[in-house]
């Protein structure tokens, strides 16, 4: 089995951190943080490549599912590591999930639609799949990030034990039902629209994308790519705690708002998948791009919310999920705009520009609330 360079760099860094003494100098800590960001991104990109190789073997919609679940696992690891570093009321889970939604629904969707609209004028996608994702994203984001700000049992946007358990179980059940339908009776919702006309300029798919992988040796290839995926993801989980610790110290030292920590984690997590989304848009595969981007938003809510709540209950650590009023307004505008975007099976540059305007507003408010 060929081990990727990112996995090798990750394992070397893990061993070096175990053997090296604790760094006291702020300059050395900053350098170490920059290196950990590079290694985590490197390993994450290689992990996504292994997941895409698995996706080609498994075919849609299982391929997209592998991608989104892999990225969600990395996100959960980073969030959990930050929660263990911060012993007080943790807002990082909320900030990271909100940041993922803003990056996916406004940043990546905006850039993708702007780029696709410029190149193809209009792009078509499978409307049923997009609406299926939104039918899950809208209620889950409202329950997880909005309702805690309005409940009266707690005054600070946290949840009671009963609320945490009920919301977690409900989230898992809804997400589990969605996955069962995605890989079961409604697989056609997430495939390229069969009646979509060919748009110009025509992009000829590469043999690796167009041809079905031969069945001979398939179990061996599946095992190799699975092992490669794990080899990339395990060092990410081991480096998550020192990365979160250095991020927490850096935010406090420079007086940067805590919400920026969520933005950093979201960018680290979604950068590889975001590149895959934009590559799919450039190849005029908008349905695949939507499956990857909206699938990431769905899995973020379906997995991260219950995991962080259960960890908070187990440690007796309050998890603040309720968003402040400004973020609630931004989330509401994003969900409304995204719904309008995917009400029609055609997209244009104008829609992408509007999404990007909301993304810029999100970044400004993160650094200057």
- Tell me the pLDDT tens digit for each residue of 63-104: 667 767 777 777 777 777 777 766 665 787 888 889 989 998
- Total domains in the chain come to 1
Of the two residues 44 and 14, the one the predictor is more confident about is: 14
pTM: 0.80
Mean pLDDT, residues 179-198 taken together: 67
Instruction: Say if residue 192's pLDDT is above 70.
Output: no
- Distances, alpha carbon 187 to alpha carbons 64, 101, 109, 146, 283, in Å: 12, 24, 23, 31, 22
Nearest to 71 by CA among 242, 277, 221, 224: 277
d(CA 359, CA 308): 25
Domain containing 164 — which CATH number?
A: 1.20.1420.30
Alpha carbon distances (Å) from 193 to 128, 129, 131: 9, 10, 14
Average pLDDT value for residue range 100-112: 90
Q: Which of 312, 328, 332, 330 is nearest to 320 (CA)?
A: 312
Residue 193 pLDDT: 60
Q: Is the dihedral of CA 99, 103, 104, 110 positive or negative?
A: positive
Task: Count other C-beta atoms under 10 Å from residue 27's C-beta.
Answer: 8
Who wins on pLDDT, 232 or 90? 232
Backbone angles phi and psi of 90, in degrees to 5: -95, 125
Distance CA 40, CA 3 (A): 16
Q: What percent of the chain has pLDDT over 70?
A: 88
Q: Write down the pLDDT at residue 210.
A: 45
The pLDDT-based confidence of 163 (bands split at 50, 70, 90) is very high
**pLDDT beyond 90 at 62:** no
Give the pLDDT confidence of 344-360 residue by residue, as tens digits.
767 778 888 999 999 99
Stronger pLDDT, 244 or 172, i.e. the higher one: 172
Instruction: Inform me whether the pLDDT recorded for 244 exceeds 90.
Output: no
Structural domain boundaries enclosing 316: 5-367
pLDDT of residue 61: 61
Q: Is the model's pLDDT at 195 over the cut of 50? A: no
Confidence of residue 273 (pLDDT cuts 50, 70, 90): confident
Cα–Cα distance measured from residue 167 to residue 140, given in angstroms and rounded to the nearest whole number = 9
For tokens 């700000």, name the residue. 149
Model pLDDT for residues 20-43, shown as the tens digit of each residue: 777 778 888 888 888 988 998 888
Is the predicted pLDDT of residue 122 greater than 80, yes or no? Answer: no
* pLDDT recorded at residue 208: 44
100 contacts 359 by C-beta, under 8 angstroms: no
- Start-end of H helices in the chain: 5-19, 26-58, 62-85, 92-102, 109-120, 127-141, 161-183, 207-210, 218-254, 259-282, 286-299, 305-315, 325-341, 349-367
Nearest Cα to Cα of residue 105 among 297, 277, 362, 283: 297
pLDDT at 330: 95
Grade residue 274 by pLDDT with cuts at 50, 70 and 90.
Answer: confident
Is-contact 106 356, C-beta < 8 A?
Answer: yes
Q: How far is it, in rounded angstroms, from Cα 44 to Cα 223?
A: 19
Q: What is the per-residue pLDDT across 295-331, written as a single tens digit (0 to 9) for each?
A: 888 888 888 889 888 888 888 888 888 999 999 999 9
């Amino acid at each position: 089995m060929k081990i990727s360079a990112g996995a090798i760099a990750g394992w070397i860094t893990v061993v070096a951190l175990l053997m090296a003494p604790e760094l006291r100098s702020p300059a050395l800590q900053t350098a170490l943080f920059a290196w950990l960001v590079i290694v985590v991104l490197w390993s994450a990109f290689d992990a996504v490549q292994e997941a895409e190789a698995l996706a080609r073997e498994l075919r849609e919609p299982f391929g997209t599912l592998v991608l989104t679940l892999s990225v969600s696992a990395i996100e959960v690891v980073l969030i959990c590591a930050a929660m263990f570093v911060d012993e007080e009321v943790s807002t990082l889970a909320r900030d990271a999930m909100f940041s993922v939604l803003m990056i996916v629904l406004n940043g990546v969707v905006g850039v993708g639609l702007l780029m696709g609209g410029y190149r193809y004028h209009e792009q078509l996608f499978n409307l049923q799949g997009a609406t299926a994702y939104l039918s899950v994203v809208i209620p889950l984001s409202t329950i997880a990030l909005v309702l805690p700000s309005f409940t009266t049992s707690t005054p600070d946007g946290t949840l009671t034990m009963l609320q945490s358990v009920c919301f977690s179980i409900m989230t898992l059940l809804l997400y589990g039902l969605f996955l069962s339908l995605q890989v079961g009776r409604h697989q056609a919702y997430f495939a390229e629209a069969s009646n979509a006309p060919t748009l110009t300029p025509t992009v000829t798919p590469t043999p690796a994308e167009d041809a079905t992988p031969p069945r001979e040796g398939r179990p061996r290839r599946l095992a190799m790519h699975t092992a490669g995926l794990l080899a990339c993801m395990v060092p990410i989980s081991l480096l998550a705690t020192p990365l979160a610790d250095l991020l927490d110290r850096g935010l406090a030292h420079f007086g940067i708002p805590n919400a920026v920590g969520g933005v950093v984690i979201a960018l680290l997590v979604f950068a590889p998948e975001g590149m895959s989304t934009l590559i799919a848009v450039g190849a005029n595969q908008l349905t695949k791009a939507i499956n990857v981007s909206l699938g990431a938003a769905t899995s973020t809510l379906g997995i991260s919310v219950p995991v962080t709540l259960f960890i908070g209950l187990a440690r007796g650590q309050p998890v603040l999920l309720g968003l402040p009023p400004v973020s609630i307004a931004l989330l509401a505008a994003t969900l409304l705009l995204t719904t309008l975007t995917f009400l029609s099976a055609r997209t244009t540059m104008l829609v992408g520009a509007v999404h990007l305007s909301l993304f810029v507003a999100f970044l400004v408010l993160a650094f200057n609330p």
